[in-house]
Amino acid sequence: MHIPDGILPVPVTAAGYAATAAVTWYSVRKINKKENSRQDIPKTSLLTAAFFVVSWIHIPVPPTSVHLVLNGLLGAILGYFAFPAILIGLFFQAVMFQHGGLTTLGVNAMIMGLPAIIAHYIFRLRRFGNKESRWKTGVFGFISGAIAVAMSVSMFVVILLTNIPADLDVGTERAAIYTLAIAHLPLIAIEGFITSLLAVFLQRVRPRILDGV
C-alpha cells in the first residue's frame, strides 16, 4: 500500500503534501492540548518502530502477497500521536528501503494516517454506555483495526484508479489494482484481530497505557 515515486502525477503528490501538512498541524495541536503529552512519547516511539518494521512481514495471498500495516493499532493506542508516528515511519521506509517514495510521502501519509485517526475515534466508543469492559475493548479494537485497513485500501484504490496514465493498458492496470484490493481482504480481518488482541492484553496487564485514548 506504499505508492512509490513516479506513479502519481505532480498535482496529486503536491495535494498529498498539503493535506498531510494540515493534518500534522492539527494532530500536533491536539497533542499539545493534552495535559501530559510527554508520557505518551515512549509508547509512540515503540509503535513507530513496530510500524516501520512490520511492513516487511509479508502474508502470501495468492496470486500476490500483502504486508501488515498496523495503522489501526497505532490509531487505537496512540490517538493523535499516530499521524506523526506514521509520517516518520513512512519517511524512513522511503529513505532507507525505497518502500514508498519521497514525492508520494504526503499521499501515503494520508492513506495510512487518516484512517488511523478514524480508528482512534472508533476505539474511543468503547467508553460509551456502562463500564469499560474487556469485551468492549476487544470488539472496538477489532473494528478500529479492521476499518483502518479497509479505509486505507479504499483510498489507495481510488487514488490509483483515478490516476492511471493514458499510455498504459488501462484495463490491465485496473485488473491488477482490483486483484491487489481483493488480496487485502484477509488483512482486514488479521489487523482487526491483532488490534483487538493487543488492546485486550494491554487493558489486562497495563491499563494505564490505554488511559489517554
For the bound state, the minimum distance from the C-beta of residue 74 to other proteins, rounded and expressed in Å, comes to: 13
When computed from its CA atoms, the radius of gyration of the chain, rounded to whole angstroms, is: 17
**Grid coordinates standing for 101?**
517514495
For the bound state, the minimum distance from the C-beta of residue 26 to other proteins, rounded and expressed in Å, comes to: 23
Write the binding mask 156 to 185 for other proteins: x where contact by CB under 8 A, - elsewhere: x--xx------xxx--xx--xx-xx-----
Cα 143 from Cα 5, distance rounded (Å): 32
> 60 in helix, strand or coil?
strand
Q: Which is nearer to other proteins, 17 or 92 (CB)?
A: 92
Q: Is 52 in the site for other proteins (CB under 8 A)?
A: yes
Q: Specify the stretch interacting with other proteins by CB under 8 A; choose among 48-56, 71-79, 191-199, 204-212.
A: 48-56
Residues 6+ apart with CB under 8 A from 94: 2, 100, 101, 102, 104, 105, 108
Contact assessment for residue 165 and residue 114, using Cβ atoms and an 8 Å cutoff: no
Q: Is 43 in the site for other proteins (CB under 8 A)?
A: yes
For the bound state, the minimum distance from the C-beta of residue 126 to other proteins, rounded and expressed in Å, comes to: 25
CA-based nearest residue to 5, from 115, 87, 83, 99: 99
For the bound state, the minimum distance from the C-beta of residue 112 to other proteins, rounded and expressed in Å, comes to: 14
For the bound state, the minimum distance from the C-beta of residue 64 to other proteins, rounded and expressed in Å, comes to: 8
Peptide bond before residue 165 is cis, with ω within 30 degrees of 0: no
CA-based nearest residue to 81, from 16, 36, 145, 147: 36
Contact with other proteins (CB under 8 A) among 29, 58, 204, 206: 58
Contact with other proteins (CB under 8 A) among 21, 22, 41, 189: 41
CA-based nearest residue to 54, from 181, 180, 190, 189: 190
For the bound state, the minimum distance from the C-beta of residue 176 to other proteins, rounded and expressed in Å, comes to: 4
Q: Which is nearer to other proteins, 31 or 143 (CB)?
A: 31
Residues 6+ apart with CB under 8 A from 105: 16, 17, 20, 87, 90, 91, 94
Chain residues binding other proteins by CB under 8 A are 2-7, 38-39, 41-43, 45-46, 48-49, 52-53, 56, 58, 64-65, 92, 96-99, 156, 159-160, 167-169, 172-173, 176-177, 179-180
